[in-house]
Amino acid sequence: MVATPIGNLRDISLRALEVLAEVDVIACEDTRYTARLLAAHGIHTPLISYFEHNEQRRAQELVERLVRGEQVALVSDAGTPTISDPGYRLVLAAGEAGIAVRALPGPCAAIAALMVAGLPTDRFVFEGFLPPRAQARAQRLRELAHEPRTLVFYESARRLGQSLAAMAQELGADRPAAVVRELTKLYEETARETLGRLAARFAREEARGEITVVVAGATVAPRPEHESVSAIDLIAAGMEPRAASKVIARLSGRTSREIYQELVREREQSKP
């Protein structure tokens, strides 16, 4: 599993170059894109396509080659394989066949964006791409509204304005955030602002390039005194979960749906 540059072709490790030159075949998303990378470094290893729509079939083919004693490298078009890119099926199939899988770490847009976003990095959540449909996107963001860890998203330039508007609506327009685009490339830019201001900017401007959005986590408010009695306490006293959720919602100003979902999560976590 070989990480490759996310923009600047010089951002590749010496070890990665050695492995790409020595393996029998390189599996990649787009053979034309990877061919340019190899040509820049004088590497002539054969290429085979490995992308979302042929991943399951191709994984088995590659495992058969591995079992015969060949060595295979997997790369994505840019960055680290399996991080919002194909690869995990091959790792799983190789492991089941008793084949050793090794990681050659390197560039990753999510980590690079965190490095320059100016937001807390001690704890973060990588969400990848949000759903493309507006309703599903809003629902996913509502589920993340109270997440205290820094949030990291990938987004296409075409949908950036819509996604930022949805984030401002569901997470809060005053939430600090950064839009990081074209990492390691000539026109690299980091725009640090609130979600509301970023949404307004990219509603006017057409975004270009590869984009990562980093958003500050929710501020964890102290528990109000009236929440000293929890929904769990009410359930223990004999109240139905949904009814208990509604009572606590009226006392706290939170939604009964949110409280009920917390109850469900707590029950799942407490299962042996």
- pLDDT of the chain, 272 residues: tens digit per residue: 999 999 999 999 999 999 999 999 999 999 999 999 999 999 999 999 999 899 999 999 999 999 999 999 999 999 999 999 999 999 999 999 999 999 999 999 999 999 999 999 999 999 999 999 999 999 999 999 999 999 999 999 999 999 999 999 999 999 999 999 999 999 999 999 999 999 999 999 999 999 999 999 998 654 554 445 677 777 777 778 888 888 887 777 778 888 888 888 877 766 65
* Residue 183: exposure state from Cβ atoms within 10 A (0-12, 13-18, ≥19): buried
CATH 3.40.1010.10 fits 14-96, yes or no: yes
Superfamily holding 110-215: Tetrapyrrole methylase, C-terminal domain (3.30.950.10)
Of 177, 41, 188, which is closest to residue 112 (Cα–Cα)? Answer: 188
Distance CA 16, CA 14 (A): 5
pLDDT, position 231? 74
pTM value? Answer: 0.78
Distance CA 228, CA 239 (A): 17
Distance CA 264, CA 241 (A): 9
- In the chain, the amino acid numbered 58 is R
DSSP string, 104-116: B----HHHHHHHH
| H helical segments located in 54-159 | 55-67, 88-96, 109-117, 134-144
pLDDT, position 43? 97
Do the strands 150-155 and 176-181 form a parallel or antiparallel pair, or are they unpaired? unpaired
User: Structure tokens of 260?
Assistant: 């009920």
Do the strands 124-129 and 150-155 form a parallel or antiparallel pair, or are they unpaired? parallel
Q: What is the largest CA-CA distance in the chain?
A: 72
* Contact indicator for 55, 89 with CB cutoff of 8 Å: yes
